[in-house]
């Protein structure tokens, strides 16, 4: 019997936990079962109490205090500890195929790009004969990044890097769409759904810097952030990153507005398709009262 899950990932503050909460509310309203696993040892507030919580297993503050580590070092330690104590995931053993297991991940980007902990964790979760979870990754990036093309491409590069490293079906999602939908016409926004290099030709952040009188100075002090971020080398770097992303042609985005149930439903349908959730479900009998009107 397979299990089904989604791992919600992306940088800090992008809206992962909010998306998990919207997903759970939506599943409950549709009489589906969710099992919520919090894997962020620094998370504080939850709209839905986690069914399984890394914080109960290894509290980040204790790790930081005892080992004199900062928040990032502490997080890596927590994950290394988890990988040596995989019995933490035992409660998933008994879940049936009806459940959607939702993993709420931390935002430290090094976890997705620098160290091989996540591929190992995913291999463990998806291993046939063991937990055997059909898992997909949902990688969130903030839609507000589109106002600064450099940020948008840097975020897209991290999404692509996670995609290549994790080797599971992957959805890239622009979150917080409600914040940009009044600022940008639909037609203009379409250009950001599949990233391409022409976006760099009309960067409003670049234009704003020019208007603000920031000019390119080839002899600029490398410590001067403004000068660096408007210089030719920075432009060349962005163009190279954008070309790299375009040549891989792997990333395209779905749009998410957690305040809109239809938007959450649309993303859920993509998740269901990715993991082929519906194909494994037994037909359900509707309760008697639903026939009454007929
Ligand atoms: N406007 C808006 N704000 C959001 C949305 N999703 C999350 N946020 C806000 O963004 C902040 C960070 O959200 P959170 O879910 O904790 O991010 P995480 O660090 O990725 O888990 C919170 O203040 C949320 O209220 C959204 O769809 N629209
Ligand atoms: Mg969170």
State yes or no: pLDDT of 34 exceeds 60: yes
- pLDDT at site 228: 66
Of the two residues 215 and 51, the one the predictor is more confident about is 51
Residue 18 contacts residue 176 (beta carbons within 8 Å): no
Of the two residues 52 and 286, the one the predictor is more confident about is 52
DSSP state of 168: S
CB neighbours of 269 closer than 8 A, spacing ≥ 6?
none
Closest C-alpha residue for ligand 1 atom 6: 15
Task: Calculate how far, in angstroms, residue 242's C-alpha sits from the geometric centre of ligand 1.
Answer: 27
- Cα distances (angstroms) measured from residue 42 to each of 70, 104, 121: 12, 11, 19
State yes or no: pLDDT of 262 exceeds 70: yes
Judge residue 243's burial from the number of C-beta atoms within 10 Å of its C-beta, 0-12 exposed, 13-18 middle, 19 or more buried: middle
Q: Quick check: CB of 14 below 6 Å from ligand 1?
A: yes
- pLDDT at site 214: 58
Task: Calculate how far, in angstroms, residue 261's C-alpha sits from the geometric centre of ligand 2.
Answer: 20
State yes or no: pLDDT of 269 exceeds 90: yes
Q: Quick check: CB of 126 below 6 Å from ligand 1?
A: no
Q: Quick check: CB of 40 below 6 Å from ligand 1?
A: no
Quick one: which atom of ligand 1 is closest to the CA of 11? Answer: 20
Q: Quick check: CB of 17 below 6 Å from ligand 1?
A: yes
pLDDT class for 167, splitting at 50, 70, 90? confident
Q: Please name each of the domains of the chain with its CATH number.
A: 3-194+251-291 (3.40.50.300), 196-250 (no CATH)
- For residues 159-171, average pLDDT: 92
């Amino acid at each position: 019997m397979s299990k089904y899950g989604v791992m919600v990932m992306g940088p800090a503050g992008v809206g992962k936990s909010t998306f998990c909460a919207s997903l759970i509310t939506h599943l409950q309203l549709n009489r589906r079962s969710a099992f919520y696993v919090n894997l962020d040892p620094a998370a504080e507030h939850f709209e839905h109490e986690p069914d399984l919580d890394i914080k109960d297993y290894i509290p980040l503050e204790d790790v930081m205090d005892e080992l004199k580590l900062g928040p990032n070092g502490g997080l890596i330690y927590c994950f290394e500890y988890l990988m040596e104590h995989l019995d933490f995931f035992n409660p998933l053993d008994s879940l049936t195929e009806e459940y959607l297991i939702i993993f709420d991940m931390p935002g430290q980007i090094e976890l997705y790009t620098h160290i091989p902990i996540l591929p190992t964790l995913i291999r463990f979760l998806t291993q046939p004969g063991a937990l055997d979870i059909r898992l997909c990754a949902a990688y969130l990036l903030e839609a507000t990044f589109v106002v600064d093309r450099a940020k948008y491409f840097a975020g897209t590069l991290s999404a692509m890097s996670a995609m290549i490293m994790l080797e599971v079906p992957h959805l890239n999602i622009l979150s917080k769409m409600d914040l940009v939908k009044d600022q940008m016409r639909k037609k203009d926004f379409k250009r950001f759904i599949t990233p391409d290099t022409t976006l760099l030709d009309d960067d409003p952040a670049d234009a704003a810097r020019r208007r603000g009188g920031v000019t390119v100075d080839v002899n600029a002090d490398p410590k001067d952030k403004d000068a660096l971020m408007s210089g030719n080398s920075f432009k060349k770097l962005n163009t190279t990153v954008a070309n790299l992303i375009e040549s891989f042609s792997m990333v395209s985005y779905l749009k998410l507005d957690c305040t809109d149930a239809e938007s959450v439903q649309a993303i859920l349908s993509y998740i269901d398709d990715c993991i082929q959730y519906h194909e494994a479900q037994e037909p359900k009998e509707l309760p008697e009262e639903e026939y009454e009107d007929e």
